[in-house]
Amino acid sequence: MSLTSDHVKRVAKLARLGLTDAETAEILAQLNSILNLVDQMQQIDTKNVMPLAHPLELKQTLRADAVTEMDQREKFQNTAPQVNAGLYLVPRVVE
């Protein structure tokens, strides 16, 4: 499988990345070379290999249901571009 520049533009849009035409061409070539590698891997017979959800073959540890975090709003909001009445402000998202 190989990608077209339309694919790259669509993925960039989904990821909210603005690419110039030159960047699109460059990334297209890079992504296609990665996909070539994937194509090579597809050749390997994995019939008897269990699917892997994580490269580390470990189990997730869980924590007890306890409140351990304190309120640090003031500290966090010091670095926010804009806050008001305790809310983080962002450019309006609905018309």
Partner 1 sequence: MYEAVIGLEVHVQLSTNSKIFSGSSTAFGAEPNTQASLIDLGMPGVLPVPNAKVFEMAIKFGLAIDAKIEQESIFDRKNYFYPDLPKGYQISQFEKPIVGPGRVTIMLDNGTTKTINITRAHLEEDAGKSVHDVFDGMTGIDLNRAGTPLLEIVSEPELRSAKEAVAYLKVIHSIIRYLDISDGNMAEGSMRCDCNVSIQPKGSDVLGTRTEIKNVNSFRFVEKAIDTEIHRQIEILEDGGRVVQETRLYDPDKDETRPMRSKEEANDYRYFPDPDLLPVVLDSSFIEACNASLPELPATRRARYIAEYGITEYDAGVLVADRDLADYFAEVANISGEGKLAANWVMGSVLAELNQTSKSIIEFPVSAKQLSDLVSRIKDNTLNSKTAKTVFDALLTSDGEVDTIIEQEGLVQMTDTSAIETIVDEVISENSTQATNYRAAPADKRPKMLGFFVGQVMKKSQGKANPQAVNQILASKLAD
CB atoms within 10 A of CB 28: 19
Rule CB under 8 A: is residue 38 a binding residue for partner 1?
A: no
**Which tokens go with 45?**
């017979």
Q: Determine which residue in the list 37, 38, 41, 86 makes contact with partner 1, applying CB under 8 A.
A: 86
Report the site for partner 1 in 14-33 (rule: CB under 8 A).
Answer: 14, 16
- Give phi and psi for 84, each to the nearest 5: -155, 130
Rule CB under 8 A: is residue 78 a binding residue for partner 1?
A: no
**Which tokens go with 41?**
């891997």
Per-residue buried b or exposed e for 46-61, using 16+ beta carbons within 10 Å of the residue's own CB: eeeeeeeeeeeeeeee
Q: Determine which residue in the list 20, 40, 72, 78 makes contact with partner 1, applying CB under 8 A.
A: 72
Rule CB under 8 A: is residue 41 a binding residue for partner 1?
A: no
Rule CB under 8 A: is residue 65 a binding residue for partner 1?
A: yes
Q: Are 83 and 77 in contact (CB under 8 A)?
A: yes
Interface residues toward partner 1, by CB under 8 A: 13-14, 16, 53-54, 56, 58-69, 71-73, 76-77, 82, 84-95
